[in-house]
Amino acid sequence: MSSLNKRLFLLAAGAAVVLGVQPGAADAAGLGDGTTAGSPVAAARPSAGPAAHPRFQAPNSRQYYITASCRGWESQIRDGASTWIGLTETTGSGTPVSCQNGYVDSCNAGSRIIGCNWGSGQRITLAMNLAPNPPLLAAHEFGHDWYGHSSSGCQDWNSVAGIMKTLNC
């Protein structure tokens, strides 16, 4: 067992942390909550441009705004947000979305957290540079406005349950 795999295994054995086998896999843990990175990934920012992904009706309407800390990541955050019909961007009302380049240690959802949604929409912090799939991380954290985790495994765009899986891979 490689040291990486061993480390991933050990982390997987921890409470509320489920890690994928892919290097750089990231994990979301807890309700309302954080996303944990298995290992750091390159800080390269993928080229802008909305991904083709389905959209899903949110249970109720919510608003958000992107703070200056997310400069450079706006299009990817909007891409993630766009999956939720009923979630709209504003200039200063609704959930404030902040970005940071390191782990979100204060999420109370485990270690190596790369995203957190406190209080089901009170505020969101994203470490987009540590996410294997930054728009999907944003979609996942926005999803915590309404939903908890569906199951463990790699997130996908194909369903609400897919978005709300634990791993950002």
81 binds Zn ion (CB under 5 A): no
163 binds Zn ion (CB under 5 A): no
Tokens 């958000």 belong to which residue?
Answer: 64
Q: How far apart are CA 80 and CA 42, in angstroms?
A: 20
Residue of closest CB approach to Zn ion = 28
- How many helical (H) and strand (E) elements, i.e. helices and strands, does the chain have? 4, 8
Residue closer to Zn ion, measured from CB, 49 or 59 = 59
- Site map 33..52 versus Zn ion, x via CB under 5 A: x-------------------
Which token pair is 146? 């309404």
Residue closer to Zn ion, measured from CB, 6 or 32 = 32
99 binds Zn ion (CB under 5 A): no
- Kindly give the pairing relationship between strand 84-89 and strand 56-66: parallel
25 binds Zn ion (CB under 5 A): no
124 binds Zn ion (CB under 5 A): no
Closest by alpha carbon to 17, among 123, 152, 158? 152
Instruction: Report, in Å, the least distance between residue 58 CB and Zn ion.
Output: 16
- Site map 133..152 versus Zn ion, x via CB under 5 A: --------------------
169 binds Zn ion (CB under 5 A): no
Tokens 């994990």 belong to which residue?
Answer: 27
Using CB under 5 A, which of 8, 19, 28, 81 touches Zn ion?
28
Instruction: Report, in Å, the least distance between residue 33 CB and Zn ion.
Output: 5
Q: How far apart are CA 139 and CA 77, in angstroms?
A: 8
- Kindly give the pairing relationship between strand 56-66 and strand 95-99: parallel
CB contact at 8 A, 156 and 97: no
35: β partners: 28, 115
Instruction: Report, in Å, the least distance between residue 5 CB and Zn ion.
Output: 24
Q: Where on the chain is the footprint of Zn ion (CB under 5 A)?
A: 28, 33
